Amino acid sequence: MYFIPISCHSSPLLWVILALGMKWVEEALSCPPECSCAKWQVNCRGKKLRTFPTTIPLASKKLILAQNNLPRLPLVTMSYLNELVHLDCSHNIITMDLEFSFPGLVKLTSLNLSYNKLTHITSFTFSQLSELLLLNLSGNPLMVKIMEQAFEKNSHLRYIDVNNCGLSYLSAETFQKLDRLRILKIKDNPWNCDCKFLAFSGWLIHTDIKFPDFEDTTCTKPEKMKGLSLRKAKFELHYLCLVHLRPQDFIYICLVTFCIFLGGTLVAWLVGFCTVMYYHPRLRPEHTRNRLYSKNKGLSRLPANRQTCQRTTTWLSLTAGFYSRLSNGANQWELLGAPA
């Protein structure tokens, strides 16, 4: 009895809410006025847009926003577009300075962010895009860094395009876990081919991944590597960074060797000299010689400690003699080997 009047009474409000809801849904599902829409596809190419269109149909699978003036991608609006498979934002002025991710775009397989103003890629940037196959980042000259873990969550990636960016280094680890990666475009970057680049250049040559225009991909820095293709740079770096010794190093090594040699010779000579001085019967002081002769006739009768001492000294002098002969040999060899 009661609810009928109440429902009748409140029905205008209900209708307003319903109408608003309908309008919102309709807006959400209707094509943005600047763009053209076909089945599941919204095309806003080259419409001088400065802001992201707010009324993109939620079921859209393909969204083209290329050649506009978009400075950023709005997180919230984008997070509703969970049917999106293909997103083209190329030729805009997108920066994504914040730790950006693409929440909700769980079905996205192709993302084109080429020709924008991206500066770096972190492990968060694409962390939500687990289905991504193709990523186009080419033509972002301000992009100087791609973090090692940047594609950690994008294990399906098959194509990556970073042609024409500002990269001077990349780490092989960035791509090593991408088992499905087939094509990686890295041309026209200011590659800095110093020793830090060696590991990456080695990986470039041994991996199965294809690098289109690899022969034309060249180093920019340092000066003496400028213009060298990355393939040639690898061999050059291998020589420069792994086996190369500077002239100072050779001098240092020679000096150390000579010191060891001199020290050894000196010690050998000293030990030999002392041994001879101590045991030579005629050079011995008179009283010790007599005592030695009268008490102990021969080595076997020397006291135990004396015997040990003698044996040690004999051994020492033998070693020393061997060493000095060796060094003399080395000396002669050096003399023979020395250029006339």
Residues contributing to the site for ligand NAG (CB under 6 A): 66, 88, 90, 110, 112, 114-115, 134, 136, 138, 159, 161
Question: Which C-beta is closer to ligand NAG: that of 67 or that of 265?
Answer: 67
Rg of the chain, C-alpha, whole Å:
41
On the 0-12 / 13-18 / 19+ scale of CB atoms within 10 A, 175 is buried
Where residue 46 falls (left for φ over 0; alpha for ψ -120 to 50; beta otherwise) is left
Question: Which C-beta is closer to ligand NAG: that of 134 or that of 144?
Answer: 134
Distance of alpha carbon 174 from alpha carbon 146, whole angstroms = 8
Angle, CA 186 vertex, CA 183 and CA 188 arms, to 5°:
145
* C-beta of residue 180 within 8 angstroms of C-beta of residue 210: no
Question: Which C-beta is closer to ligand NAG: that of 134 or that of 274?
Answer: 134
* Cis peptide bond prior to 285, omega within 30° of 0: no
Distance of alpha carbon 69 from alpha carbon 91, whole angstroms = 8
Q: Which residues contact 291 (CB under 8 A, 6 or more apart)?
A: none
Distance of alpha carbon 71 from alpha carbon 92, whole angstroms = 7
Reading the block at residue 240, the tokens are: 């420069």
Dihedral of alpha carbons 69, 73, 77, 82, sign: positive
